[in-house]
Chain A
Amino acid sequence: MSPSLEARQLTRRFGAFTALDHLNLQVEGSKCIGFLGPNGAGKTTALKMFTDLIFPTSGEAFINGVSVQQERKRALGACGTLIETPEIYSSLSPREALELVGALRGMRPEEIRSRTTEVLEEVKMADWADKKVGRFSKGMKQRINIASALLSDPEVVLLDEPSTGLDPRGMAEVRDIVRGLKKGRRLIFMSSHILSEVIDVCDEVALLNHGKLLFHDTLSNVEKRLTGGATSVDLAFMGPVGDDTVTSQVAPLPGVVSIARVDATRLTLTIQGGPTVQSGILERLAAARLGLLSFEPSRSALEEVYLQEISKGDS
């Protein structure tokens, strides 16, 4: 059975304020879903209901088909979570904190030892394994929290803005960790308000605003939604590329719909067609020896859709 997450009519009101409004969302399989939305959109509220930290006004959340509200222990058994920035008992060391997590999850002592070593190395905290957590910076604590979420090698990972409190290097490392997690048979559900983070690591995106789900789709479909099936690709060259070269060698390539010049060494192509067409264009550009440095999908489409949908919701 594939790992899955489901919200059925999940609603949470705080007095007259509706933080989450009848969220219906079903995700399944091994992938990473970005739960995107501006601050106050309801992302953390939804994740807290998925972990039973707060209770729904109505509706229910399910992890692997098990109701979190009815059977929290069984539902969270296969799930690693990181909600907000938890504090760890200050007198414990990371190793002891992870021992506690492993013991509460019912892992065997040898599993706890080996996994503790693995996850601490993964979050680059191995050198701090036996120091007291109370002396750690917020970023270091967040790494230990990530390690805690990964300790049992869970099928489902819920991450609430995991790069919060980290410096740019730490943020990049968290993205690497999340990308690494995707290699397994694992469903990752990660809330974020950072578009580049979602673009970088996620396969699908669910956009939330004012407690309502605006859409849930794959990143490629989001792009199609904006561009009518066309894909934008950013090209960077080692040196300047003349207009004549662009006209004679780039424009005629099959699938290229339009070309926009960013500057002397960079172009943005709009391509009609799927991965096969894109692959063909890349091969031909490389064969043409134009000094191509990079060829990467331009993700500005998500930003466009994000801004459009958010402004629709706000108006």
Chain B
Amino acid sequence: MTDGTPSLGHVPGTFRQAVLLSRYQFRDYLRSRRFVLMMAIVAIIGAILTFVLLYYNGAGLTGSSDAFYGTFWAGGVTVVIIFAGIIFGGDAIAGEFQNKTGYFLMGLPIRRNSVYVGKFLAAFTASLLSVLFYLVILLANGAYWFGGAALSVALFESFAIALLYLLALLGAVFLFSSMFKNSPYAVLVVAVLFLFGFSIIQALISGLVKVEPWFIITYAQNVISYPFLSSIPAHMETVKAPGPRGASITSYNPTYAEGLAIMGGYFVLTAVAGLLLFEREEFT
């Protein structure tokens, strides 16, 4: 123990602290079972996909590389993103309260927003690795069926949109995680909402109430497939059931701009709301 010296160190800025924290949090993720679980989920999805393509002749099944990626990238990456969000973000904030790790961090000279942002960055990086793993599996399949030319600008465009969707989803997941001080509750609520809750609400709102569900995040995910399409789907489609009394069912597709705006809006609003909520939470 040194005697009579003032405290060591000059406390870094808020963002610097967030980045520092994210490194250690990411290291914690990499060594955790949840990371192995997430990679296993992606590997299983990839294995099923590879098997289906081999069994049904991948080139013949999709016809072109754009159709291949439009079907298997855009369809699969949303599932990967949702699982990554649940696994890495579901208890990211709630766990700080329940597991008492928050007491270790919050006794330090660090703002709550540094902790929130640091954990968000770590969850984003871990999720990004999962998405990249899925992309590698798809690229390998794409290269096998369509050769090197399969790598197109559309794929990069779609990848960028998928990252925006990941940001938006993690923002929402972190908001839900901030609402709870109990990890299982937080994970359960996030899983139920993102795996099927939002889809059911979306179907009910558009199909029955006939209102465009622009306020539901999962509605925007279709946009990830748009770069591969020659024409964007109609904004609104109404299908009338056969027969004189057949009910009409309405479905909506977001426009390109609308989808991006929903994702961007979700990210900004949920990140700010989650941050404000965490700022007000107490470690009682």
Contact = CB atoms under 8 A, between A and B. Distances in A.
A89 B28 contact: yes
B106 A52 contact: yes
Contact of A184 (B3, B11, B108): B3
A83 interface: yes
B283 A106 contact: no
Interface centre among B3, B5, B104 (most CB of A within 10 A): B104
B10 to A, nearest CB: 4
A183 B9 CA distance: 21
A81 interface: yes
Given A92-B28, A96-B27, A181-B1, A86 B7 contact: no
Interface in B108-147: 108-111
Interface stretch (A150-158, A195-203, A237-245, A264-272): A150-158
B24 A73 contact: no
Contacts of B24: 89, 92, 96, 99-100
A43 to B, nearest CB: 14
B28 to A, nearest CB: 4
Contacts of B71: none
Interface string A70-94: 0011111111111111111111100
Contact of B108 (A91, A92, A101, A150): A101
A88 B101 contact: yes
Contacts of B11: 73-74, 77, 104-106
A87 B100 contact: yes
A51 interface: yes
Interface in B1-16: 1-12
Given A77-B11, A106-B11, A106-B12, A87 B103 contact: yes
Interface string B8-51: 11111000010011001101100110000000000000000000
B103 A84 contact: yes
A101 B20 CA distance: 10
A86 B100 contact: yes
A180 interface: yes
Interface string A213-250: 00000000000000000000000000000000000000
Contacts of A92: 24, 27-28
B33 to A, nearest CB: 10
Contacts of A184: 1-5
A53 B103 contact: yes
A12 to B, nearest CB: 10
Nearest to A158: B107
B6 A89 contact: no
A52 B2 CA distance: 28
B8 A183 contact: no
A145 interface: yes
B109 A86 contact: no
Given A89-B28, A122-B1, A104 B17 contact: yes
What bracket does the count of chain B residues touching chain A fall in?
Answer: 35 or more
Given A72-B111, A111-B9, A104 B4 contact: no
A122 B8 CA distance: 17
Nearest to B19: A103
A87 B10 contact: no
B284 interface: yes
Contacts of A85: 100, 103
Nearest to B18: A104
Interface in B238-258: none
Interface centre among A72, A75, A86, A183 (most CB of B within 10 A): A86
A286 interface: no
B152 interface: no
A54 B17 contact: no
Nearest to A107: B9
Nearest to A156: B7
A180 B1 contact: yes
A154 B7 contact: yes
Contact of B20 (A97, A103, A115, A118): A103
B127 to A, nearest CB: 18
A209 interface: no
Contact of A53 (B12, B109, B282): B282
29 contacts: A14-B284, A53-B103, A54-B282, A73-B110, A74-B11, A76-B107, A78-B7, A80-B7, A83-B103, A84-B103, A86-B102, A86-B107, A87-B99, A88-B101, A91-B32, A92-B27, A100-B21, A101-B108, A103-B12, A104-B105, A104-B108, A105-B109, A115-B8, A149-B107, A152-B8, A152-B9, A153-B1, A155-B7, A185-B5
Interface of A: 14, 48, 51-55, 72-92, 96-97, 99-108, 111, 115, 118, 122, 145, 148-155, 158, 180-181, 183-185
Given A87-B101, A87-B104, 16 more contacts: A54-B282, A54-B284, A73-B110, A76-B108, A76-B109, A78-B7, A86-B103, A89-B25, A102-B9, A104-B20, A104-B108, A106-B10, A152-B9, A181-B1, A184-B3, A185-B5
